[in-house]
Structure 1
Amino acid sequence: MNIVFIEPAFPANQRLFVYALASVGANVYGIGESGEQELGDDLRGAMKAYYRVSNVTDVGQLTEAVQFFQRYAWIDGLEATVEAHTMAAAQVREATGIPGTSVHTTWLCRDKPSMKEALRRAGVPTAASAAVDTAAEAKEFADQIGYPLILKPRAGAGASGTVRVDDDGELAAALQHFGETGASSIAVEEFVQGHEGFYDTITVGGHVAHDWTTHYYPNVLEAMRSRWISPQFVTTNRMEGNPFYAEVRELGRRVIEALGIGTSATHMEWFYGPKGLKFSEIGARPPGVGCWDLYSASNDVDVYREWAHIITHGTPERPMRRPYAAGLVALRPDHDGAIQGYSGVDAFMARYGRWVLDTNFPGRGSATQPVEAGYMANAWLRMRHPDYDELRRMLDDAGATIHVHAG
């Protein structure tokens, strides 16, 4: 098969998708913003051809690049694995006759109010939400639903730009901030209490071929607000035979069907609390922050290759047997500034080194990143263990033992 892949060089893990496609026999045609000489021999060698554009989200440039390839080869697929690239990819698919996720489905997976409205019509439990274009509309929603509320960009990825507001004053301040960033329309929704996690899949023709469930500790908004927290996300190896995970799977199946997702990676956020299990949002793309690395480690299976095998051949290659749970703990600096050093690393590694997958400890003098920049913005550590509870305990110990000193 001949597969066009959008932006093979950035971010850095994009090349893993290209390598995986090549490893299962696909001819990969890359379109990206980097110069060909900047790709490196390995990445360039994994592709049949490469076409440079100045902006991979520019539909005109992307269409021209795809049509260039189509003059020389039959193009079977066009893949985009970054949220910001998915709509342009869908538009180009439809313009050039390439099968894959439609513009309509991509729109529903990116525009949060439209997504939730479609799912409510399908009977999927989700938070009350609306698209608001004015402060008056936001205040009307607040009066109807009550505080707290969540405000977020209509097409944002993950928790990027998401804020919680608890009263009229915080609502007004948040709306002013969104206005200053140029947002003319935002999503506002009911705050759902409960534990937060995500359900990821790779689907074939609308049916789940592989899936994983992962938990946040604590929930994302709390994690991104508090420096002292060493937040974690942990993928479970207890999905089989568990009634709760059966419910998560059924919710995911209903969402995939309602939104018309065919053959794709997906990333679905959920909450479970006093009102039961509720859908939050979904992306028709792989998850970020290295989740597939954890899924690979927890199953001793290359998940990137599994995705590529499904894209190229229409079937999975290996099952997910889940011998391990796997997780990441973010290790925050005690101040903003520059890294001065670390303490507790040797003691922690002496206790648990055999279970550590990999680590990231930026060198002395490296600039720190703000807490809200995410789980992998500063130091972090990834681990796996056959017992989920023991893994949680070790990750907690990492947060308590390892200290990142900055100044």
Structure 2
Amino acid sequence: MNVVFISPNFPPTWFNFCTALREAGATVLGIGDSPYDELRPELRAALTEYYRVPAMGDYDAMLRACGFFTHRYGKIDRIESHTEFWLGIDARLREDFNVFGQKPHDLEINRRKTGMKRGFIKAGIPCADGVLATDATVVRRFVAEHGYPVIFKPDQGVGAADTFKVAGDEQLDAVLGNLPPGYMVEKALSGDLLSFDGLTARDGSIVFRTAHHFSAGIMETVNERRHLHYYSLRDIPPELERLGRKTVAAFDVRERFFHIEFFRRDPSTYHALEINVRPPGGFSLDMMNYACDIDLFRWWAESVVHDRRDFSFERKYHAAHASRRHGVNYRFGHEQLLAEIGPLVVNHLEIPDALSGAMGNYAYLLRSPDQGEILEAIAKVEATA
């Protein structure tokens, strides 16, 4: 099996997908814009060949790279990046080279916010009311019907980039005077932010699933430079699992990771926010591995190469991401913090600049079977002087 992996060196732990593919028996062919000599040794060992392009967004260069691989190794069986930035290029390349997986028309449904909303409504999954902000009349009519606050977000965007809340007429007038095209407006939701996350096999069956609880929405975290923490749950709330499974089926997620966000108003009331047909961001995959003592990089590779789906797991721990931001005076210095919470820390590391707006600048990955212990440790990470 020939697998083209796009941007195999970023995010930083994605090299594990390539090593797992190689161990599963695949021929792994990498495309990226970093010099080959700068790739970590484990990644270089996993790649049969690496094609460097001048820029990842240059589709003609990506097309030539896949053409070269086809000429040299035969038909390409999979093309993947598992990264939000490159989902559109992945899909176009799959269509051009007739490769299994998501195509551009799929992204119209599961990457555009308007497409997601249509999918949720069709499947009977509660979600916020919203419309495409085609002009001021449409927006004002929507606000008159639903009231403030409302959220403006790009119909197609990465994370919470360029997403903002409007709470009154004066703000709305300013926005409508300078609103770029391609935005949608929706009723603001309130409640706890949770996610249903996992991996599906080729037939669409869910082979791994978990849930995470977030300290705040990504929009608030980015726009207000808040601390972000989130942690996994050992037991998935029943209504979250029911709606999460229904969403996976409705969007026909096959041989892919998924990250589905919901607002929970009370134990029986959830509203879908969005679906991402990729792994959750940051170090979430590592957290899921830590929580269950498994290797989801390997599980995905074996699912791809061998169509394997007979995996088993137990959520032994709550795993958490707690972060710090540069320029903040914290109560505990780094070494003192490690002395305080050291037994719970499974890793601590710098967060790449490309992810730091939402995730913070430095992450502490924690785990414990006790949720209270996790929350106490998070409070110490974030405590300011």
Same fold (TM over 0.5): yes
Could you tell me which residue of structure 1 aligns to residue 296 of structure 2? 303
- Say whether residues 1:188 and 2:182 are aligned partners: no
Residues 242-321 of structure 1: pairs in structure 2 closer than 5 A: 245-273=237-265, 276-316=269-309, 318-321=311-314
AA in 1 matched with 2:324: L
d(CA) in 2 for partners of 1:91, 1:370: 24
TM-score, length basis structure 1:
0.85
Could you tell me how far 1:140 is from its partner in structure 2?
2.5
AA in 2 matched with 1:375: M
Could you tell me which residue of structure 2 aligns to residue 242 of structure 1? none
Contact kept? 1:232, 1:328, Cα under 8 Å: yes
Q: Which runs of 5+ in 2 are unaligned?
A: none
Structure 1 range deviating more: 308-317 or 251-260: 308-317
- Where in structure 1 do 4 or more consecutive aligned residues deviate above 6 Å? 368-372
Distance 1:37 1:317, change over 3 A: farther
What are the superposed Cα offsets for residues 48-86 of structure 1, whole Å, 9 maximum, x if unpaired?
112222333444333332222222323211112111211
What are the superposed Cα offsets for residues 156-190 of structure 1, whole Å, 9 maximum, x if unpaired?
122222211111222344456653xxxx2112111
AA in 1 matched with 2:61: Q
Could you tell me how far 1:292 is from its partner in structure 2?
0.6
- Say whether residues 1:330 and 2:314 are aligned partners: no
AA in 1 matched with 2:49: A
**Secondary structure, aligned partner of 1:374:** helix
How many residues are paired up?
382
Residues 128-277 of structure 1: pairs in structure 2 closer than 5 A: 128-175=129-176, 179=180, 184-204=181-201, 205-226=203-224, 230-239=227-236, 245-273=237-265, 276-277=269-270
d(CA) in 2 for partners of 1:267, 1:222: 19
From 352, 355, 362, the equivalent of 2:344 is 355
d(CA) in 1 for partners of 2:105, 2:244: 19
**Secondary structure, aligned partner of 1:233:** strand
d(CA) in 2 for partners of 1:341, 1:147: 36
Could you tell me how far 1:3 is from its partner in structure 2?
0.7
Distance 1:361 1:168, change over 3 A: same
d(CA) in 1 for partners of 2:234, 2:170: 44
Could you tell me how far 1:318 is from its partner in structure 2?
4.2
What are the superposed Cα offsets for residues 12-41 of structure 1, whole Å, 9 maximum, x if unpaired?
333232222223222111112223333344
Distance 1:370 1:50, change over 3 A: closer
**Secondary structure, aligned partner of 1:55:** coil
What are the superposed Cα offsets for residues 73-131 of structure 1, whole Å, 9 maximum, x if unpaired?
23211112111211221122122111112322222111101210122022111111122
Distance 1:177 1:302, change over 3 A: farther
Structure 1 range deviating more: 104-113 or 315-324: 315-324
Structure 1 range deviating more: 261-270 or 100-109: 100-109
Could you tell me which residue of structure 2 aligns to residue 375 of structure 1? 359
Could you tell me which residue of structure 2 aligns to residue 84 of structure 1? 85
Could you tell me how far 1:320 is from its partner in structure 2?
2.3
TM-score, length basis structure 2:
0.90
What are the superposed Cα offsets for residues 373-403 of structure 1, whole Å, 9 maximum, x if unpaired?
1223x23322100112221122123322x65
**Secondary structure, aligned partner of 1:238:** coil
Q: Which runs of 5+ in 1 are unaligned?
A: 240-244, 363-367
Contact kept? 2:159, 2:218, Cα under 8 Å: no
Could you tell me which residue of structure 1 aligns to residue 372 of structure 2? 389
d(CA) in 1 for partners of 2:110, 2:215: 25
d(CA) in 1 for partners of 2:145, 2:24: 53
d(CA) in 1 for partners of 2:126, 2:284: 26
Could you tell me which residue of structure 2 aligns to residue 25 of structure 1? 25
